[in-house]
Structure 1
């Protein structure tokens, strides 16, 4: 063998030996910057590291940002001989082929750890971090808004609010460190590139250039998204500012709604009159509800929505009554007609008179007149006791067999067994407290001739 060849083989052998020695050392010793439970074990073998760990007491002190935030009671480390295998496993976990200066924080749970002291420490530290956060600034996530057919992304803002969830996890994982130095984990805002923000963008883009038709009785009104929605956001569900559409809903109400308006009504005698504008049998569109209905319809890709879910009214039901009714100028053909002048009531079903009777209305001389206008039967009850206070201040409690109220203030149809004056002029000086008194013999048939929510036209 030539001399050059022998030198090369010798050099190679030396390299192999050195690499072998290096691997052996790496496999049996911790790297320089490694700690186990906060104890520096760099350069030690498993046995040496175990002895150091088992002889180092745990202070249970906790530091954050260089300041001690918890002073714990010193406890024994709690290692037993059974834990030597755990230390060996930790050593194996950090092995690298070549020496490494990378910092590694490893954890080994001692078999006889003081779990109560650790639990008290975690609880106290979590509470302390919550207190510290009270004076700290929370981050502001990126925000996505929709406006004028365009999706806008507002940049996030960082804060110095501690991330309690991450710190609590670190506490659990390092609860047996000899001294706890918490990392400075700040709560991070969601950025424009996050999956959450991208999902919000996609959801709001559904509004771009969307159109919808609003059905109000027999009329249709067409809207673009930017005519309905001033601004929209999405965070799992849609939220809309729909004040933009309010002026249009106001115009629709002026054109079609019946709240505060008089009805044209043809009396039993065939005379056409205009009712008083007072009354509770009416409806109008609630602008906020309408905006939400339209906005949701736009998001859902609907071509048309109906105003019937957006109504409001007066009286016992706040939903509004008479929407979609076209007969008899919106009053329909089932109703009660009451003439104060004639002191008489007529009861109609499907356009036919089914009963009529004399009544005594509210006492005119005391200003307790039965109110004129278009009301409705709020509900019906048998065997009720009517309670209230007369105009003169005297309380009353009157048992009746049949009770059909039509105003929130307590006016309605009922039998009046106590009444003796049934003159057609009785209401002027000897009338009721506002109700329509009926003969006991008439009250039952009248009760059966009425139904809840039907209009009561008083003129």
Structure 2
């Protein structure tokens, strides 16, 4: 009996212990499950979403808090207020709970964590005020600030006077706006924007870009343009005529100075426009014909330079050009006259010769005299002399009505059968049926208003043997 009682008592104690352990286990499981559930449905203490602390909140509470918060939209540069924006709504709504749930799972840790963690979430109703207005305003303000700062100068390869070298980079203190705005773009949904200044750095002399520039300039240095003017060829060697050149963005920038100088030298040596000439008259006498007339040609520097620079930019080592495309003239024919004439001081062998002292006209074709006639030129007593110089036949017209003014006749209008103008002022050859005085001294007091009056009987032959652009020599 005694022994059985003791045994029973032991059994009772064991059963109590088991029961207690089971109860404790059940409580532990419940507490553990509750804790786990809480941990899985609530954010850790120092978790932020778009700069707003959501620590200890579940997804619904966090969404509500995010929704209720306004966005300040202030922009700080190096922790100093740089631009003050207006407040806007956060843009969060109940539609954003799935996003918050994803972040909740992402931040979960088995044990509570005090680690600061920041997440970004795109609000479903986010406006574009920050990216459109504030970003543009910040960019403009940075540009304005840069105007007060020194700009960095990139290193660059330069061809100067036949040699290729590299100009060193120079540092500045202007903001690198693109880099700063890149940081701005990463903070679209934060309460405020915090930026750090980034200084624009110049291109280094050791950069691939500068090395490529140098290589391209060395290729340019080996090029040559052969420029033919009439029968003479001129070599535009890059080493000699390119005072300065650079290469950037796939294109050469070439100074015009050296090329322009050489074109000037060619014009001085060969061009005929506006120059005086030594002319051999019908009688074999040599006379100087004054400069300033319209006959002749010259190379137009701007056209020639453009073509020569374009030739240097081509891949060819040597490019051949003819100057004929670059010439110009004055008067009616602006493309120049006499370029193809390389004999007889540039007027060739087909021309008209007018002697004021002899009051006579000769016309030559291919070196042979085809017309010879007396004429009456402009009236000397009233300073209406036919202008001396080297001119050309601008145009011909048959019949024609001549209108103008002269001494004794303010305005006249007269019909002629043949007309060939050779000066800008309106002087030309024409028949003069009204003229009765054809004396050799008529021009002194009874001359024309400046034209070369030609007898009616001779004018058709004169007209037929005059050709547009051919020289008219008056001396």
TM-score by length of 1: 0.72
Q: Distance in 1 between matches of 2:432 and 2:55?
A: 102
For residues 230-254 of structure 1, the C-alpha deviation after alignment (integer angstroms, 9 at most, x for no partner) is 1112234333335446666565555
Q: Distance in 2 between matches of 1:103 and 1:433?
A: 101
Residue 472 (structure 2) pairs with residue 456 (structure 1): yes
Larger Rg: 2
Q: Secondary structure, in 3 states, of the residue corresponding to 1:234?
A: strand
Which of 157, 160, 174 in structure 2 is aligned with 1:144? 157
Residue 251 (structure 2) pairs with residue 237 (structure 1): yes
- Cα offset, 1:374, TM superposition: 1.5
Q: Distance in 2 between matches of 1:343 and 1:102?
A: 110
- Cα offset, 1:227, TM superposition: 1.7
Q: Distance in 2 between matches of 1:359 and 1:183?
A: 90
Which of 381, 391, 394 in structure 2 is aligned with 1:375? 391
- Cα offset, 1:365, TM superposition: 1.9
Q: Distance in 1 between matches of 2:299 and 2:47?
A: 72
The within-5 A match list for 1:93-242 is 106=120, 108=122, 110-115=123-128, 119-165=132-178, 174-194=187-207, 196-222=209-235, 224-235=237-248, 236-242=250-256
Which of 51, 71, 77 in structure 1 is aligned with 2:84? 71
Q: Secondary structure, in 3 states, of the residue corresponding to 1:338?
A: strand
* Range with greater deviation from structure 2 (57-66 or 38-47): 38-47
Q: Distance in 1 between matches of 2:402 and 2:101?
A: 88
Which of 313, 321, 330 in structure 2 is aligned with 1:305? 321
For residues 155-213 of structure 1, the C-alpha deviation after alignment (integer angstroms, 9 at most, x for no partner) is 23333334445556665664543223344344443333555444432321113344454
Is the Cα contact below 8 Å between 2:278 and 2:289 reproduced in 1?
no
- Cα offset, 1:276, TM superposition: 0.5
Residue 407 (structure 2) pairs with residue 407 (structure 1): no
- Cα offset, 1:129, TM superposition: 3.5
The within-5 A match list for 1:416-435 is 423-435=439-451
TM-score by length of 2: 0.70
Q: Secondary structure, in 3 states, of the residue corresponding to 2:145?
A: helix
RMSD over equivalenced CA pairs, Å = 4.7
Is the Cα contact below 8 Å between 1:411 and 1:436 reproduced in 2?
yes
- Cα offset, 1:229, TM superposition: 1.6
Is the Cα contact below 8 Å between 2:162 and 2:243 reproduced in 1?
no
Q: Where do 5+ consecutive residues of structure 2 fail to align?
A: 1-38
Q: Distance in 1 between matches of 2:454 and 2:46?
A: 103
Q: How many pairs align?
A: 428
Q: Where do 5+ consecutive residues of structure 1 fail to align?
A: 1-24
- Cα offset, 1:399, TM superposition: 6.1
Is the Cα contact below 8 Å between 2:289 and 2:473 reproduced in 1?
no
- Cα offset, 1:77, TM superposition: 0.9
- Cα offset, 1:52, TM superposition: 4.4
Q: 1:409 to 1:232 in 2, by over 3 A?
A: farther
Q: Distance in 1 between matches of 2:146 and 2:176?
A: 9
